[in-house]
Amino acid sequence: MATLLIVDDAPENLSVLSGLLSPLHRVRAVNSGRRALQAAAGRPRPDLILLDVMMPEMDGYEVFHHLQANPATADIPVIFVTALENSGDEERALALGAADYITKPLRPSIVLARIKLQLELRAARDLLQDRNRGLQMEITQRMADNLQIQDVSIRALARLAEIRDPETGNHLRRTQGYVHTLAMELRSHPRFEAFLTAHNIEVLVKSAPLHDLGKVGIPDHILLKPGKLTADEWLIMKTHSRLGYLAIEQAEQDAERPIEFLGMAKEIAHYHHEKWDGSGYPDGLAGEAIPVSARLMALADVFDALLAQRVYKTGFPLAKALAIIRDGRGSHFDPDVVDAFFARQKEFLAIATKHADREAAQQAVKAHG
């Protein structure tokens, strides 16, 4: 049974309506606008309100205004009931958002038919809303599942390169954290704010772990060589940026629709070894020609490499690593990116400590921090 709230200041009208509706519905009857608002917001919540227009103190229009203003009652359908037969009043009521308008004297068959119609419409609306909520929850869950699959796939791809070089350990987590830290520092900088939106930062951080994907294509005798590379070996090693770019581009072409993070991942993989002064590789880009994403990764990657122990070198002391970053300002790195690094130096060291490969490295960072 539906719950109906009847509002009328005339006791005889309340009695007539209650007698007509009680056999079919749960009926609550009140004789003022103030009590109507209290009853509408209480329990049981009305499924429909029959609201008299002409009442003292607070007329039906004012009551309706308060009902609409309260989120707890705004969606309850209201049928205005009045002795007025002015078409302007009916138009006003419907324009305000009333569900229907019934004039007195009341005809039982008309009243019951109008109420039945409004209750059926409300039931259909509630059913549709429930289904929409269910669909939205399902869509949200599927999107979350897809994003999780995407993130896991990204890390699995990135680990292909890292597994080949076990010395790099948590390199992906560290560089991802460094890139995020730089982006957050630079997001309000005039040179970077147009690119470093919240959305682009999210895509950038998601893309970062694929920066060295191309190392999968470097032979082990070069990638794992415990010493300085020859000139020819270095030429081969440098091809990893191009190989990573091509691999991601192929994945992009195989996708049925554009996948945003792949575009940025391709950009990072290709250009993160470019230098601000144009002396980097593979294309010798300089200054603003280097994508922002690659400029952030360039510093993140170098800082991590300086501290890390690899098969071909020992890690630098922190003071030495910081000096190298500082000396690279305006030559290797975008000057503003270097400034952002030193502004967030403590965060960089915290990331390095949290994701250190070895206890010794962790202690070294702590000692120099």
- DSSP letter at 313 equals B
Q: What is the pLDDT of residue 163?
A: 67
Helix (H) or strand (E) holding 50, with range, is strand 48-52
User: Is the pLDDT higher at 129 or at 187?
Assistant: 187
- DSSP letter at 314 equals P
In this structure, of 116-120, 136-140, 311-315, 349-353, the range with the lowest mean pLDDT score is 311-315
- Chain mean pLDDT for the chain: 87
**Model pTM above 0.75:** no
How many other C-beta atoms lie within 10 A of the C-beta of residue 294?
23
User: How far apart, in whole angstroms, are the C-alpha atoms of residue 286 and residue 368?
Assistant: 33
For residue 24, the SS3 value is: coil
CA distances from 335 to 182, 288, 329 (A): 12, 11, 5
User: How far apart, in whole angstroms, are the C-alpha atoms of residue 156 and residue 249?
Assistant: 17
Q: Which residue, 41, 40, 43, is CA-closest to 7?
A: 40
In b/e form, how buried is each residue of 75-107, taking b as 16+ CB within 10 angstroms?
A: ebbbbbbbeeeeeebbeebeeeebbbbbbbebe
Kindly give the pairing relationship between strand 3-7 and strand 48-52.
Answer: parallel
320 pLDDT above the threshold of 70: yes
150 pLDDT above the threshold of 80: no
> What confidence tier does 152 reach under pLDDT thresholds 50, 70, 90?
low
Most confident of 7-21, 78-92, 144-158, 190-204: 190-204
Q: What is the pLDDT of residue 290?
A: 98
User: How far apart, in whole angstroms, are the C-alpha atoms of residue 185 and residue 192?
Assistant: 10
Kindly give the pairing relationship between strand 48-52 and strand 26-30.
Answer: unpaired
How many other C-beta atoms lie within 10 A of the C-beta of residue 203?
17
> What confidence tier does 367 reach under pLDDT thresholds 50, 70, 90?
very low
Could you give the domains of the chain? 3-132 (3.40.50.2300), 164-368 (1.10.3210.10)
Proportion of the chain above pLDDT 90, given as a percent = 54
User: Using an 8 Å Cβ cutoff, are 331 and 275 in contact?
Assistant: yes
What's the one-letter identity of residue 177?
G
> What confidence tier does 364 reach under pLDDT thresholds 50, 70, 90?
very low
Q: What is the pLDDT of residue 368?
A: 46
Q: What does the pLDDT look like over 259-291, one tens digit per residue?
A: 788 889 999 999 999 999 999 999 999 999 999
Beta-bridged to residue 5, according to DSSP, are: 28, 49
Kindly give the pairing relationship between strand 100-103 and strand 26-30.
Answer: unpaired
Which residues, other chains included, contact 160 with Cβ-Cβ below 8 Å and sequence gap of 6+?
213, 216
CA distances from 180 to 150, 187, 205, 297 (A): 19, 10, 6, 10
14 pLDDT above the threshold of 60: yes
Q: What does the pLDDT look like over 133-142, one tens digit per residue?
A: 888 888 877 7
Which residues, other chains included, contact 362 with Cβ-Cβ below 8 Å and sequence gap of 6+?
353, 356
Proportion of the chain above pLDDT 70, given as a percent = 87
> What confidence tier does 363 reach under pLDDT thresholds 50, 70, 90?
very low
> What confidence tier does 239 reach under pLDDT thresholds 50, 70, 90?
very high
Q: What does the pLDDT look like over 70-109, one tens digit per residue?
A: 999 998 999 998 876 666 777 787 888 888 888 888 889 9
What is Dmax (Cα atoms) for the chain? Answer: 104
Q: DSSP of 55-90, one letter per residue?
A: -SSS-HHHHHHHHHHSTTTTTS-EEEEES---HHHH
Count of residues making up the chain: 369
Determine the Cα angle at 365 with ends 154 and 310, to 5°.
55
User: How far apart, in whole angstroms, are the C-alpha atoms of residue 153 and residue 122?
Assistant: 46
